[in-house]
Structure 1
Amino acid sequence: MKKLLNTVCAVALLALSWGAVQAQTYPSKPVKIVVPFGPGGFTDVVARILGVKLSESLGQPVVIENRPGAGSMIGSDQVAKSAPDGHTLLIVSSTHVISPWIYKSVPYDPIRAFAPVSKLVDSPYVLLTNPKVPAKNVQEFIALAKAQPDGIHYASSGNGSAQHLIGGLFASMTKTQLKHVPYRSSNLAATDLVAGVVESSFAGVPNALAQVPNGRLNALAVTSAKRIPQLPNVPTMQEAGVTGFDATIWLALLAPAGTPASIVNRLNSDVAKIMSTPETQKAMYDAGVEVSLSSPAAMSQLMVSEMDKWGKVVKEAGIKLE
């Protein structure tokens, strides 16, 4: 028995020593952050702000790779199957824990296939309309949609995306029949919205800030429970008459499951320092998001609770994809 205990202790000490060695030598090559959405959306914007500062902190280049498609599953699957050495990371949105409720098949377990590093930011979405749409507020938009069943379209960054889900939630809560039009990125969706190809979109704050002040798009409401400082004159959905509507999206940094705790903790510490600086916080504010950090353990718990929360939303909204 004593020999067995000695063996167990030796193995544990060896694992700790190996983890310490990995932490000291990490990173040994460029780090890649996969963004499972197209360029131009707020996930991409946050990734690029973080990437520049993280490169300085790690002493290695940090490359941002956009891998959009299938409601963020293509990029996420790539990282889930990557070596768990901290050199391939993933920035996800709430979509990450929504996909299992929408798609019949997800090629990875959104919880078990990843090692959470940290929550990064929170952000609402904004109901935007093309100026040619005669509705000037949410109630007029609802009335217009009811008068033209399936005649009002809303663009999103893809099937199963947060934009898609929030649009479905809005349609469900207002008993309207909005026609969903999926794009490969929120940037492409915004481009067609400005051009008048589609009438509306539940877009990220960066897209709103790029188009609303110059009058190219109208902002009818934000999806959070409180107004946001970047668009102080835009009401919340609840203020606009959609009682109980509150849909804020988060972003988080993940690594593949099995990544040593020493590396995860190193990344968590570096991210916390970067995101807490006035310079980064201003950049995030300008991008329309609010810095919101966490420990790896707290992020893991949040993912589990959010998966349960959005599962109920998906069922109530009746959203399902093949």
Structure 2
Amino acid sequence: MPWSWSRLRRQPAPQPHNHNDSQEEDMQNYLRIASLMVAMTVGALSAAPAVSAEQKWPERPIRMVIPFAAGGGTDVLGRMLAQKMSEGLGQPIVVENKPGAGGSVGTADVAKATPDGYTILLGSSSTHGINPVLYSKLPYDAINDFEPIALIATNKFVMAVPGKFPANNLQEFITLTKADPEKYPYASSGNGTTSHLAGALFVKQSGVPLAHIPYKSNVPGLNDLMAGRVAVMFDNITAMQGQIQAGMVKPIATTGETRSPILPDVPTMKEQGLQDYQIGGWFVLMAPAKTPKAITQRIYEELKKVVSQKDVHDRMVAIGADPQVEGPDDLRKHLATEIPRWKEIVDLAGAKVD
């Protein structure tokens, strides 16, 4: 077709370039890319916090509640472990004594604490074995309110009298006190404690009706024993070792199946005629229920490492504690068997808490 002006007129006129439209399109692309990057960053961060919080633990001091008075056997053991474990965890473990009601006051405090790994309890056979069967109204549930960390050690008890007491063995003590039992009350570290039940079991099996004087903890009871204001006290060897070595109190008998390696010259109750008498205690480490498993496992592993050190092991033995570290699962099994066992002892001794 020959070229003509009419054909040229039919072609659409070229459109001029619009710089504003191009800039707007570039901005929209930029915003889409920026939004995608923000979404990816937020997604990555949101996946980490729960794990990271446990991995960073501990970031501040840890509180160890000891539900008995300072200076007692549980306190001595707890302070030694707190110091050693602090070194490995990289944060101080601060001991707080909260005595009262056979250890129930401090134990209840831990049960209600935030389960973040920054509050732990050094419990015992009193707090998690006896109290659940002795008290009708306990301010905590020994099983459901706690996350078990570890069984620490077991211990034997000793029956001790003032240093100048006239009796030197169990039979002499029974003969003397039977003649006038009202003159010879026994002290304990509080209603419902192992100290109380050990004395009540002795009263039951020996037939000597000694009166019971409960103290807020073993420390004031031990002070009155040394002063001769009470005639006898049953407590763990850990609590009395120093006073025995100083001659301020005199051991009459130990309460285990075999003699204590700390007091090898002191015969057991069984050796001295009370064939069925056997009682002892134990120490545990607990955390509030729902404390993350990763944290309780870390504490258990640190405890196990510390107790395996020769100086710590030897020190525990020297104060009357037999090291026996077991983890959370084994501790659950231990409590499941110990609580019924203590119920039998409570029923046999006829112990009551008013």
Mean Cα displacement is larger for which, 21-30 or 43-52?
21-30
1:155 aligns with 2:155: no
> Residue 170 of structure 1: which of 183, 191, 202 is its match?
202
**Could you say which residue in structure 1 is the equivalent of 2:11?**
none
Query: For 1:237-248, what aligned pairs fall within 5 Å after superposition?
Result: 237-248=269-280
Partner of 1:66: 97
Deviation at 1:18, TM superposition (A): 5.9
Q: Distance in 2 between matches of 1:19 and 1:299?
A: 27
How is 1:280-295 mapped onto 2 (pairs within 5 angstroms)?
Answer: 280-295=312-327
Does 2:306 align with 1:312? no
Aligned with residue 80 of structure 1, among 105, 111, 114:
111
SS at structure 1 position matched to 2:287: strand
In structure 2, the CA distance between the partners of 1:294 and 1:18, relative to structure 1 (3 Å rule), is farther
Tell me the equivalent position of 1:225.
257
Contact kept in structure 2, 1:119 and 1:293, CA below 8 Å:
yes
Give per-residue Cα distances to partners, 1:139-183, cap 9 Å, x unaligned: 121222322233311111111111011111111121221111112
- Tell whether the 8 Å contact from 2:102 to 2:193 is kept in structure 1 after alignment: yes
The answer for unaligned runs of 5 or more in structure 2 is 1-46
Aligned twin of 1:259: 291
Greater length-normalized contact order (CA 8 Å, ≥ 6 residues apart): 1
Confirm or deny that 1:301 pairs with 2:330: no
Shift of 1:215: 2.4
Q: TM-score, normalised by structure 1?
A: 0.92
CA distance in 2, matches of 1:248, 1:181: 20
Q: TM-score, normalised by structure 2?
A: 0.84
Q: Distance in 2 between matches of 1:111 and 1:17?
A: 32
Tell me, in whole angstroms, the C-alpha distance in 1 between the residues paired with 2:288 and 2:197: 26
Residue 235 of structure 1, CA deviation = 0.6
Tell whether the 8 Å contact from 1:36 to 1:66 is kept in structure 2 after alignment. yes
* Deviation of 1:33 (Å): 0.5
Deviates more, 1:20-29 or 1:167-176: 20-29
Q: Tell whether the 8 Å contact from 1:22 to 1:263 is kept in structure 2 after alignment.
A: no
1:289 and 1:195 map into 2 onto residues whose CA distance is 26
Bigger Cα displacement from structure 2, 151-160 vs 257-266: 151-160
Q: In structure 1, how many angstroms separate the alpha carbons of the residues matched to 2:83 and 2:175?
A: 46
Secondary structure of 1:244's counterpart equals coil
CA distance in structure 1 between the aligned counterparts of 2:304 and 2:115, rounded to whole angstroms: 21
Residue 82 of structure 2: SS of its match in structure 1?
Answer: helix
Asked if the contact 1:126/1:221 (under 8 Å) is kept, the reply is yes
Deviation at 1:133, TM superposition (A): 2.8
1:243-283 CA deviation, whole Å, 9 max, x = no partner? 02111200000000101111111111111001111011012
Name structure 1 gaps, 5 residues minimum: 1-15
| One-letter amino acid of the structure 1 residue matched with residue 58 of structure 2 | P
TM superposition shift of 1:17? 6.6
Work out the number of aligned pairs and report it. 309
Larger Rg: 2
**Cα distance in 2, alignment partners of residues 38 and 212 from structure 1:** 19
Distance 1:312 1:150 in 2: 27
Q: Which residue identity is paired with 1:316?
A: L
Q: Note if contact 1:51-1:64 (Cα within 8 Å) is conserved in structure 2.
A: yes
Which residue in the other structure is 2:305 paired with? 273
Task: Please report how far the alpha carbon of residue 76 of structure 1 lies from its aligned counterpart in structure 2 after TM superposition.
Answer: 0.4
Q: Secondary structure at the match of 1:312?
A: helix
Q: CA RMSD in A?
A: 1.8
Q: In the alignment, is the contact (CA less than 8 A) between 2:101 and 2:216 conserved in 1?
A: no
1:204 positional shift: 2.3
Q: 1:211, 1:35 → 2: CA distance? A: 21
Q: Equivalences for 1:2-17 in 2 at 5 Å? A: none
Deviation at 1:22, TM superposition (A): 3.1
Corresponding residue for residue 14 of structure 2? none
**Structure 1 counterpart of 2:211, one-letter code:** K
Q: Percent identity among equivalent residues?
A: 38
Name the aligned partner's letter for residue 268 of structure 1: Y
Per-residue Cα deviation, 1:185-206 (whole angstroms, up to 9, x for no partner): 2122111111111111012213
For the 8 Å contact 1:22–1:262, the answer to whether it is kept is no
Deviation string 1:2-56 (CA, Å, 9 cap, x unpaired) is: xxxxxxxxxxxxxx97653233111121101000000111100110010001111
Letter in 1 for 2:267: P
Where does residue 81 of structure 2 map in the other structure?
50
* Aligned mates of 1:43, 1:56 — CA distance in 2: 21
SS of equivalent to 2:152: strand
Q: Does the 8 Å contact 1:19/1:261 carry over to 2?
A: no
| Letter matched to residue 139 of structure 2 | P
